[in-house]
Amino acid sequence: MTFKSKTTNTLLKALVQELKKTSIVEEASIWKRIASDLEKSNRNRRVVNLSRLNRFTKANETVIVPGKVLGSGIISHSVTVAAFSFSDSAIEQLKQNKCTVVSIEDLMKKNPKGKDIRIIG
């Protein structure tokens, strides 16, 4: 018999439900994709360092990380980053470089159609 563990994080469950609802209402498949990525187990969720964000983004771009952003590396241009969670050092470095740090929920409310958003990770 196999045991499939489910997340017990009520905030994560609520976010996933809200993402799925917005995906249906706004006909934006990006939110459904983010919801399915967040439903994965912790070990399969994405972890992205600032160095990766620096390499794969352009100035003034909006990116979303369905997982955690870590503070390893340097970011040399300003971007808007949304993620499920951030390390303290990542938030500090992003703010020092005049980047915008938002939650996935805030980004979803600001841009319900999901236009001009890239998934990184």
What domains are there in the chain, each with its CATH number? 10-119 (3.100.10.10)
Condensed to tens digits (0 to 9), the pLDDT of residues 107-120 reads 999 999 999 999 99
C-alpha to C-alpha distance for 58 and 67, rounded to whole angstroms = 20
84 near 12, Cβ under 8 Å? yes
DSSP, collapsed to helix, strand or coil, labels residue 8 as: coil
DSSP string, 50-103: HHHHHHH--TT-EEEEEEEEE--S---S--EEEEEEE-HHHHHHHHHTT-EEEE
Condensed to tens digits (0 to 9), the pLDDT of residues 66-119 reads 999 999 999 999 999 999 999 999 999 999 999 999 999 999 999 999 999 999
